[in-house]
Amino acid sequence: AQTVTQSQPEMSVQEAETVTLSCTYDTSESDYYLFWYKQPPSRQMILVIRQEAYKQQNATENRFSVNFQKAAKSFSLKISDSQLGDAAMYFCAYRIGVDYGGSQGNLIFGKGTKLSVKP
């Protein structure tokens, strides 16, 4: 079974600084997707970044980038130039890439990391 582990329940960063959130996962599949979602106090889930397992290049979205280490099954999120609006819960998620019978492509989430940004 696939699992996603976020070992940091809480993290804190100074405004304008850089922070890295950790995520590891376990799977026997070779084709899959990894995601980072942000959940602010409104509780709306917002996609931050996506990584396809077959791509060696790390995904980047403006101030957000990932360090994808496929062999180590590690998928960390780096937030550069942190802003007050980045404060939220961050969830790492996994999804199998191919739809097998019984798998509908649901997301498997880690337990989340609460990020605080200090002014």
Interaction site with another protein (CB under 8 A): 33, 35, 37, 42-47, 50, 52, 91, 95, 97, 102, 104-112
Give min distance, CB of 85 to another protein, in A.
18
Min separation Cβ 98 and another protein, Å: 11
Tell me whether residue 11 or residue 108 sits nearer to another protein (CB atom): 108
CB of 94 to another protein, least distance (A): 12
* Residue closer to another protein (CB basis): 64 or 109: 109
- Give the CA-trace dihedral at 104, 110, 111, 113, to 10 degrees: -130
What's the chain's Rg over C-alpha atoms?
A: 14
Burial class for 39, CB neighbours closer than 10 Å (0-12, 13-18, 19+) = middle
Indicate the residue among 3 and 80 with the shorter CB distance to another protein.
Answer: 3
Q: Is 70 exposed, middle or buried (0-12, 13-18, 19+ CB in 10 A)?
A: middle
- The CB-of-19 to another protein minimum distance in angstroms stands at 20
Between 7 and 14, whose beta carbon lies closer to another protein? Answer: 7
* Residue 109 three-state SS: strand
Beta-ladder partners of 26: 3
